């Protein structure tokens, strides 16, 4: 009986044993190094500018393939239960991601007109755009340029946002009014308070993360490719995960100008129906690389 008990205990131990979770890049400095190495290996520039219409350009930065730990630990402040469990994700292919959120000038240049905007200026992010309109924009840019454009997956978005960090934000465990556009009247981990701007701000107004991406925290929510599922992390695959069915609400990430700082966290997940068009929702574009 003792031998049987020991065998059962061993089997349980083996079943529960997990490979250690890996982050590569593991620091912002390593993120920059990997980005430069990927550019050299692929013989591509770190930053790329694409003309999408006469005199109108979109700027992209190279995001290297790598691994990260997706989600948030159980002790993270304001953590949603849909942010767990922490799990390994491998992004197997490098790609380009929009350096900025899509602007009103870019959107109008491709689709002829902007949606019903609350805040108007060519260099402000387009807002009041629903998931389907974002997809139409991506396809139209693809058709015009011959390059494959789409929305990022939820995993690609979080990996790009973190840029080698495992903290609440890519700025650390707090975020301040000098670092992003959000509801500055609310504090996170004793961060500074201020009178909120109360509107969107020109893209690129705040410091970028280690990959060179701007406004991954705040300004406008950003649509992702995935269908939202609250327990998706329990069964998602390790390599290039994406939840593409069945139909449902779509994932939005990054928080917005009218949200508290807890909504800007790198792991924070939210959702909207595909037809949701709100003054705080926009998007950025991923450009695939032929490898």
CATH number (domain holding residue 212)? 3.90.1580.10
Q: Residue 242 contacts by C-beta under 8 Å, 6 or more apart in sequence? A: 153, 154, 155, 225, 226
Cis peptide before 246, with omega less than 30 degrees from 0? yes
Give me the pLDDT at residue 9, please.
37
Q: Is residue 7 part of a domain?
A: no
Give me the pLDDT at residue 5, please.
41
Separation of alpha carbons 272 and 130, rounded Å: 9
Residue range 199-217, pLDDT digits in tens: 999 999 999 999 999 999 9
Give me the pLDDT at residue 18, please.
57
Residue range 74-103, pLDDT digits in tens: 999 999 999 999 999 999 999 999 999 999
Residue range 34-68, pLDDT digits in tens: 999 999 999 999 999 999 999 999 999 999 999 99
Q: Is residue 10 part of a domain?
A: no
Q: Is residue 86 part of a domain?
A: yes
Provide the domain limits for residue 156. 20-288
pLDDT at 25 > cutoff 70? yes
The answer to whether the beta carbons of residues 251 and 228 sit under 8 Å apart is: yes
Range 236-251 average pLDDT = 93
Q: Is residue 60 part of a domain?
A: yes
H runs (alpha helix) in 17-130: 28-42, 104-111
Number of domains within the chain: 1
Residue range 96-127, pLDDT digits in tens: 999 999 999 999 999 999 999 999 999 999 99
Q: Cα dihedral angle (75, 209, 218, 24), rounded to 10 degrees?
A: -40
**Tokens 């500018």 belong to which residue?**
49
What does pLDDT average to over the chain? 93
Q: Is residue 6 part of a domain?
A: no
Q: Is residue 175 part of a domain?
A: yes
Q: Is residue 248 part of a domain?
A: yes
pLDDT at 144 > cutoff 90? yes
**Measuring CA to CA, how many Å separate 202 from each of 103, 122, 129, 197, 206?**
9, 9, 17, 12, 9
Give me the pLDDT at residue 4, please.
44
């Amino acid at each position: 009986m003792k031998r049987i008990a020991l065998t059962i205990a061993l089997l349980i131990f083996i079943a529960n044993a997990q490979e250690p979770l890996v982050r590569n890049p593991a620091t912002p400095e390593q993120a920059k190094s990997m980005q430069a190495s990927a550019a050299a290996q692929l013989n591509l520039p770190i930053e790329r500018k694409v003309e999408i219409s006469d005199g109108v350009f979109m700027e992209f930065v190279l995001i290297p393939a790598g691994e990260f730990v997706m989600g948030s630990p159980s002790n993270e402040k304001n953590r949603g239960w849909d942010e767990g469990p922490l799990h390994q994700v491998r992004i197997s292919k490098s790609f380009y991601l929009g350096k900025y959120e899509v602007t009103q000038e870019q959107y109008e240049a491709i689709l002829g007109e902007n949606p019903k905007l609350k805040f108007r200026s060519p260099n402000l992010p387009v807002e009041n755009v629903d998931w389907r309109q974002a997809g139409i924009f991506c396809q139209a840019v693809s058709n015009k340029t011959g390059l494959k454009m789409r929305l990022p997956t939820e995993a690609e978005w979080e990996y790009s946002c973190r840029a080698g960090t495992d903290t609440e934000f890519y700025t650390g465990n707090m975020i301040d009014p000098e670092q992003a556009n959000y509801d500055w009247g609310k504090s996170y981990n004793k961060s500074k308070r201020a009178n909120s701007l109360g509107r969107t701000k020109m893209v690129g107004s705040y410091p970028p993360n280690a990959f060179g991406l701007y406004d991954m925290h705040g300004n406008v929510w950003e649509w992702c490719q995935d269908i939202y599922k609250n327990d998706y992390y329990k069964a998602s695959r390790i390599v290039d995960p994406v939840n593409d069915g069945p139909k449902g609400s779509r994932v939005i990430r990054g928080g917005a100008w009218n949200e508290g700082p807890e909504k800007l966290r790198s792991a924070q997940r939210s959702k909207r129906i595909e037809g949701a068009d709100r003054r705080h929702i926009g998007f950025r574009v991923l450009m695939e690389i032929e490898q």
